[in-house]
């Protein structure tokens, strides 16, 4: 059950990699041991390997001492693989499945739990539906398992945290990468850091992207800018202020439909229509504008007592329009039903959190005690208009795109969510070999709103008070090995990820509950190579899931369970060979009914990215992604659509022209595999891109 095929093992074993041949400067290095250089400290690492994380415990803790599965993708790896989106990254993280997100947002499944909201920026909630950029990001952390103690509500299967680049106090740094791919997409960005004085610095990141695709009529553009100024107020206190503006305008594309394969058999994605657009060109469009301000203060109150605080304000304005396949194809060259809607949303987020960290000893015990509080106010307004199409079907033999008018309001909701939390955590060292991480969090979640539709016109409200525990025990037989066990919980209020509605039938139901049991091992084989193993069981009680037959509704399904194993290897095999890889097995189903399988959870996933330094100025990269078959939505009937297994090979070449200029060529899908990368439901399936190349020139001074 847990075995990979011999051919896949052979391919993984044959892959090569290298340590970077292009030396990254201080703009991409965050050294927690040298506070004089980086004004806001966010962690540390070496190449592809990160050694510490502040996010998982809200204290600066070595990864080997955290009883939790954590995958980290460093800036060096982001650059080497030419990643441009979270989806690019997560395809190389086993145990994580990328969702289509209706062609307008990041959407993922972690350990069987699908989410549009479990995203964070420097540990602060970033739950609006949009595509997150990487231009101003130092690294991306994928934390598995529910940990409401640290993150609050949601996060049932885990969370994705982006760590922002921060100012450096004693260097002038300029980095200016630009790239173009074989579909015609191109981008250019700048990363500029300059000291303002002996105690202040400013860092400016900006990007412009012209988007294009193998899909007909699919394109767009995104531009963003992020100035970040920071000050050493004195030897003990640091202050930072960041502002980001994002403008994203692109085609919404919900992919291709399915087609029946026979009585009692699952549907499959229709073949031969990889590039065919199932919408209306010029109408399918998502427009997103955001302004995000973040204030951060860090300092020492006493020798053994520190404080960190963050306030974030975000104003988000988004509209997306979708014309999409609304059913399976009647035949290979038959017809496909279409539907359409428009969905404008406005959101304001204000979130503040503060943490005290106290290092103290009580007899033979050493404690790192975290006491924190968080407050948030999130105001949302959302409407949905159904579209009237000039033709409700698309003829595959002679496709003619319909016109559409949006004249029927089906949702008109305003809501105000306020939440407040207090939490305490103690990291206890019981001598040299045993550590304990234990804590509790109290959350008060209060939603009030009004469904403004004339036919309904009703207020709704719900308040939940929840206590979430976390307990982890770590045994270290020697300094470079840890064996751990972990128990944790989280919850999700009935208003869901985005607070769009709270129906009469759901208003009095208890929140969904997530409980995770995990045992694992972490081994620093050498200082720059880490191996990890985790075995877990995650249960979701009072579970609901999107109704595959009605995207505006959810269905109650009872209790689900995901059981699995995850392995990972990160770091340098030799001084010339660097890797980031992993394997996961997941069995996700409804408790008491094995025939009901959770959607978008392949049983097996494996990936390995390698880079090998052939010469001082020349390196090669090789990567592989394998994913077994998965259901596009929760399998409740025999004809639920099933996406076939696939294997994709990627490659790269790196050449240093000089100390300051690097050329890079990445090739995705080297052997032109035909595959289906992700889905939103049974009839909105994304096609994997054919072989394509991206050329990058990177200059740094």
With a cut of 80, say whether residue 34 has pLDDT above it. Answer: no
Predicted pLDDT of residue 293: 98
Is residue 1 included in any domain, yes or no? no
Instruction: Identify whether 445 is part of a domain.
Output: yes
Confidence of residue 424 (pLDDT cuts 50, 70, 90): very high
Mean pLDDT of 252-266: 93
Asked if the structure places residue 610 within a domain, the reply is yes
* Closest of 242, 113, 76, 165 to residue 562, by C-alpha: 113
How high is the pLDDT of residue 499?
81
Query: How many Å separate Cα 500 from the centre of its chain?
Result: 22
Q: What is the pLDDT of residue 546?
A: 57
The predicted structure's pLDDT at residue 11: 31
Residue 119 lies in a domain: yes
Domain count, the chain: 1
Report which of residues 295 and 542 the model is more confident about. 295
**What are the beta bridge partners of residue 236?**
none
CB atoms inside a 10 Å sphere around CB 500:
18
Mean pLDDT value across residues 280-298:
97
Domain assignment of residue 695, yes or no:
yes
- Average pLDDT taken over every residue of the chain: 90
- Tallying the residues shown for the chain, one arrives at 701
With respect to residue 524, please indicate whether it lies within any of the assigned structural domains: yes
What lies within 8 Å, CB to CB, of 435 at 6+ separation is: 65, 427, 428, 429, 473, 474, 476
8 Å CB contact between 525 and 531: yes
Phi, psi dihedral angles at 186 (to 5 degrees): -150, 160
Say if 515 falls within a structural domain. Answer: yes
CA distance 693 to 571: 26
Q: Residue 69 gets which letter from DSSP?
A: -
- Rounded to whole angstroms, what are the CA distances from 82 to 180, 649, 675, 696? 11, 15, 21, 8
Least confident stretch, 129-133, 361-365, 455-459:
455-459
Percentage of the chain exceeding pLDDT 90: 81
Beta strand extents in 303-433 (DSSP E only)? 305-325, 335-362, 365-389, 393-395, 404-430
The tokens for 637 are 């009937």
Specify burial of residue 408 (Cβ count, 10 A radius: 0-12, 13-18, 19+).
exposed
Is the pLDDT reported for residue 144 higher than 50? yes
- What's 628-683 look like in SS3? CCEECCCECCCCCCEECCEEEEEEEEEEECCCCEEEEEEEECCCCCCCEEEEEECC
Output b/e per residue, 527-554; b: 16+ Cβ within 10 A: ebbbebebebebbbbbbbbbebeebeeb
pLDDT of 20 over the 70 cut: no
Torsion of CA 589, 473, 492, 69, to 10 degrees: -60
Instruction: Please give the pLDDT value at position 264.
Output: 83
> Percent of the chain at pLDDT above 70?
91
43-61 per-position pLDDT tens digit? 455 799 998 888 889 999 9
- Residue 294, pLDDT > 70, answer yes
Task: Give the burial string for 300-309 (b: 16+ CB within 10 Å, else e).
Answer: eeeeeebebb
What pLDDT sits at residue 45?
56
254, part of any domain: yes
Check if the beta carbon of residue 82 is closer than 8 Å to that of residue 179: yes
Of 700, 701, 699, 694, the residue nearest 209 (C-alpha) = 694
Decide: residue 65, CB within 10 A, 0-12 exposed, 13-18 middle, 19+ buried. Answer: buried
Q: Pick from 302, 259, 281, 118: which is nearest to 215 by CA?
A: 281
- Read off the pLDDT of each residue in 620-645 and give the average, rounded to a whole number: 94
Q: Are 180 and 201 in contact (CB under 8 A)?
A: no
Task: Please give the pLDDT value at position 39.
Answer: 56
Mean per-residue pLDDT, 225-249: 96
Provide mean pLDDT across the span 314-338. Answer: 96
CA 511 to chain centre: 23
> So what's the pLDDT on residue 548?
57
> Does residue 203 have a pLDDT over 50?
yes
pLDDT tens digit sequence for 297-306: 999 999 999 9
Q: Give the per-residue pLDDT at 647.
A: 98
Confirm if 447 and 461 have CB atoms less than 8 A apart: yes
Q: What is the CATH number of the domain that holds 547?
A: 2.40.170.20
Q: Is the pLDDT of residue 554 over 80?
A: no
**DSSP type of residue 356:** E
Q: Which of 7-21, 356-370, 477-491 has the lowest mean pLDDT?
A: 7-21
Count Cβ atoms below 10 Å from residue 270 Cβ, excluding itself. Answer: 24
Which is higher by pLDDT, 671 or 29?
A: 671
Secondary structure of residue 94 in the 3-state scheme? coil
Residue showing tokens 């009914």: 593
Residue environment code for 230-261, b if the CB has 16+ CB neighbours within 10 A, otherwise e: bbbeeeeebbbbbebebebebbbbbbbbbbbe
Of the candidates 365, 213, 356, the residue with the CA atom closest to the CA atom of residue 298: 356
Dig out the tokens for 628 from the structure: 């077994």
pLDDT of 23 > 70? The answer is no
Kindly indicate the confidence band of residue 3, based on its pLDDT and cuts at 50, 70 and 90. very low
- Indicate the pLDDT class of residue 426, thresholds 50, 70 and 90: very high
Question: CB of 79 within 8 A of CB of 649?
Answer: no
Strand partners, 87: none
pLDDT band at 555 (very low <50, low <70, confident <90, very high): low
Q: What is the pLDDT of residue 540?
A: 94
Residue 422: give the domain boundaries: 6-699
CA 528/CA 614 separation, integer angstroms: 20
φ and ψ of 113, to 5 deg: -110, 115
Contact 144, 69 (CB under 8 A): yes
Dig out the tokens for 55 from the structure.
Answer: 């996010």
Q: What is the pLDDT at residue 497?
A: 82
Query: What pLDDT shows up at residue 7?
Result: 34
């Amino acid at each position: 059950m847990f075995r990979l095929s011999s051919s896949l093992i052979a391919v993984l074993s044959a892959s090569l990699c290298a340590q970077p041949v292009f030396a990254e400067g201080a703009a991409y290095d965050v050294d927690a041991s040298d506070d004089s250089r980086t004004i806001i400290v966010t962690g540390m690492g070496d190449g592809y390997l990160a050694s510490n994380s502040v996010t998982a415990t809200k204290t600066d803790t070595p990864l080997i001492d955290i009883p939790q599965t954590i995958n980290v993708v460093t800036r060096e790896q982001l650059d080497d693989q030419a990643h441009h989106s979270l989806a690019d990254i997560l395809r190389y993280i086993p145990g994580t499945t990328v969702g289509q997100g209706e062609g307008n947002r990041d959407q993922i499944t972690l350990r069987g739990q699908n989410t549009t909201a479990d995203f964070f920026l420097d540990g602060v909630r970033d739950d609006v539906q949009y595509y997150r950029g990487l231009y101003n990001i130092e690294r991306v952390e994928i934390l598995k398992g529910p940990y409401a103690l640290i993150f609050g509500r949601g996060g049932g299967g885990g969370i994705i945290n982006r760590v922002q680049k921060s100012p450096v106090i004693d260097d002038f740094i300029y980095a200016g990468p630009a790239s173009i791919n074989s579909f015609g997409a191109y981008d250019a960005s700048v990363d500029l850091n300059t000291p303002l004085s002996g105690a202040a610095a400013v860092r400016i990141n900006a990007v412009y992207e012209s988007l294009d695709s193998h899909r007909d009529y699919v394109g767009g553009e995104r531009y963003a800018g992020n100035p970040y100024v920071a000050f050493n107020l004195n030897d003990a206190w640091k202050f930072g202020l960041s502002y980001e503006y994002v403008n994203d305008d692109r085609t919404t594309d919900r992919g291709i439909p399915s087609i029946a394969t026979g009585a009692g058999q699952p549907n499959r994605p229709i073949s031969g229509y990889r590039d065919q657009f199932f919408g209306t060109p010029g109408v399918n469009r998502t427009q997103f504008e955001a302004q995000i301000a973040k204030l951060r203060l860090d300092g020492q109150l006493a020798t053994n007592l520190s404080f960190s605080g963050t306030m974030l304000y975000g104003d988000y304005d988004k509209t997306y329009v979708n014309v999409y396949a609304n059913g399976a194809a009647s035949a290979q060259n038959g017809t496909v039903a279409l539907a359409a809607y428009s969905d404008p949303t406005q959101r304001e987020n204000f979130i503040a959190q503060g943490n005290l960290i106290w290092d103290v000893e009580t007899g033979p015990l050493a404690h790192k005690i975290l006491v924190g509080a968080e407050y948030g106010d999130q105001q949302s307004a959302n409407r949905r208009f159904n579209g009237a199409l000039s033709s409700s079907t698309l003829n595959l033999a002679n496709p003619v795109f319909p016109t559409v008018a949006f004249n029927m309001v089906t949702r008109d909701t305003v809501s105000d969510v306020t939440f407040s939390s207090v939490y305490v955590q103690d990291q206890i060292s019981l001598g040299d070999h045993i550590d304990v991480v234990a804590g509790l969090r109290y959350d008060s979640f209060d939603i009030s709103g009004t469904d403004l539709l004339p036919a309904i016109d009703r207020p709704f409200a719900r308040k939940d008070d929840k206590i979430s525990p976390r307990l982890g025990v770590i045994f270290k037989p020697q300094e470079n090995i840890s064996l751990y066990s972990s128990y944790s919980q989280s919850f999700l209020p009935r208003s869901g990820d985005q607070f769009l509605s709270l129906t009469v039938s759901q208003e009095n139901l208890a929140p969904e509950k997530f409980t995770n049991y995990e045992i694992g091992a972490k081994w620093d084989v050498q200082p720059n190579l880490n191996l990890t193993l985790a075995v877990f069981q995650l249960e979701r009680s009072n579970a609901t899931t999107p109704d595959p037959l009605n995207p505006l509704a959810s269905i109650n399904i009872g209790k689900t369970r995901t059981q699995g194993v995850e392995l990972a290897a990160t770091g340098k095999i030799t001084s010339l060979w660097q890797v980031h890889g992993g394997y996961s097995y997941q069995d996700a189903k409804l408790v008491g009914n094995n025939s009901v399988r959770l959607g978008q959870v392949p049983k097996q996933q494996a990936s390995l990215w390698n880079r090998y330094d052939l010469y001082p100025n020349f390196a090669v990269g090789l990567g592989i992604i394998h994913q077994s078959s998965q259901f596009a939505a929760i399998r409740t009937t025999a004809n639920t659509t099933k996406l076939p297994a696939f294997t994709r090979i990627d490659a790269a070449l790196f050449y240093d022209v000089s100390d300051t200029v690097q050329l890079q060529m990445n090739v995705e899908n080297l052997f032109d595999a035909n595959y289906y990368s992700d889905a939103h439901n049974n009839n909105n399936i994304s096609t994997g891109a054919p072989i394509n190349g991206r050329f990058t020139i990177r200059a740094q001074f």
